[in-house]
Amino acid sequence: MHITLPPLPEQRAIAHILGTLDDKIELNRRMNETLEAMARALFQSWFVDFDPVRAKAAGRDPGMPKPLADLFPDSFEDSELGEIPKGWEVKKLGDLLELAYGKALKAEDRQEGDVPVYGSNGQVGWHNARLVVGPGIVVGRKGNPGIATWVATDFFPIDTTFYVLPKASCQSLEFLFHMLRTHDLASLGADSAVPGLNRNLATMSNQVLPPAELFGHFERFAGELARCVNCGNEESRTLAALRDALLPKLISGEVRVGDAERFVRAEQG
């Protein structure tokens, strides 16, 4: 087998260009992990650990603007889940959302397009038609049950998944997404050879629900973080396609290193 081997300085220059793209993709990945962790931490603090309520009950500053702090009560009350913030409710998941079935779509039946196809393990391909208008939430049904995945765009969930339809009592998808991730849905399996999520058991799980105005504030904050994550993902997808397209052209000499460097700088802004 004969291959085209550029001179060593050219090889190093090519590696530098491709490495720059890889570095930016990795930076985006780490940044997205940080943004997602911020949203998870805020949900945990407000709606699981009840930190602002505990601070106010102890006479401490909850560390947030007063209009927002005023939305949190300063005491607790008993409930079937133990102590919860006064005035908050305990609801069934089924009161907050519906888990709708995805639709069968074999790999050979998918048409080239820009609509992501989701299975229980995440994105599994692309298609030219959507089943659900995004953003939305995919929940694993078979194979990898109970795992909630956020989808920023229109999407097509296949029949190994559920997708979430919010009900009138909670229209905030961001709240529902982070709420689902705090539940051990994977333990609510159906009795079969293939691990699966029992929808009836899942919707019977209890959840503490704050007033709508409060989870509306969370939605705005988490929504902005989600938009930043999506921008990072889209940029990384573009950069990966650019890297894969440049490699054979640089190796063959069809594109020279100087031209590629200028193009990469233009793509990075």
**pLDDT at residue number 191:** 54
**pLDDT at residue number 138:** 97
3-state helix, strand and coil shares in percent for the chain, rounded to the nearest 5: 50, 20, 30
**pLDDT at residue number 192:** 56
The CA distance from 8 to 91, in Å, is 66
Contact 138, 149 (CB under 8 A): yes
Higher pLDDT, 169 or 10: 169
* pLDDT band, residue 247 (cuts 50/70/90): confident
The neighbour count for residue 69, using CB atoms within 10 Å, is 15
Closest residue by Cα to residue 71 from 207, 178, 169, 212: 212
- Region 215-240: mean pLDDT is 93
* pLDDT band, residue 159 (cuts 50/70/90): very high
**pLDDT at residue number 2:** 82
Q: Please name each of the domains of the chain with its CATH number.
A: 1-88+210-269 (1.10.287.1120), 89-209 (3.90.220.20)
- The predicted-structure confidence for 97-125, as pLDDT tens digits, reads as follows 999 999 999 999 999 999 999 999 899 99
Average pLDDT of every residue of the chain: 90
Q: What's the Rg (C-alpha) of the chain?
A: 24
- Region 206-233: mean pLDDT is 93
Residue 129: strand, helix, or coil? coil
The CA distance from 169 to 95, in Å, is 7
The neighbour count for residue 258, using CB atoms within 10 Å, is 9
**pLDDT at residue number 269:** 59
The CA distance from 239 to 237, in Å, is 6
* pLDDT band, residue 67 (cuts 50/70/90): very high
Contact 139, 161 (CB under 8 A): yes
Q: Which amino acid is at 213?
A: E
Name the strands in the sheet holding 148-151, side by side, starting at the edge strand that comes first in the sequence. 97-101, 161-166, 136-140, 148-151
The neighbour count for residue 2, using CB atoms within 10 Å, is 4
The CA distance from 156 to 215, in Å, is 27
The CA distance from 134 to 187, in Å, is 28
The CA distance from 74 to 243, in Å, is 54
- Region 248-258: mean pLDDT is 76
Contact 163, 116 (CB under 8 A): no
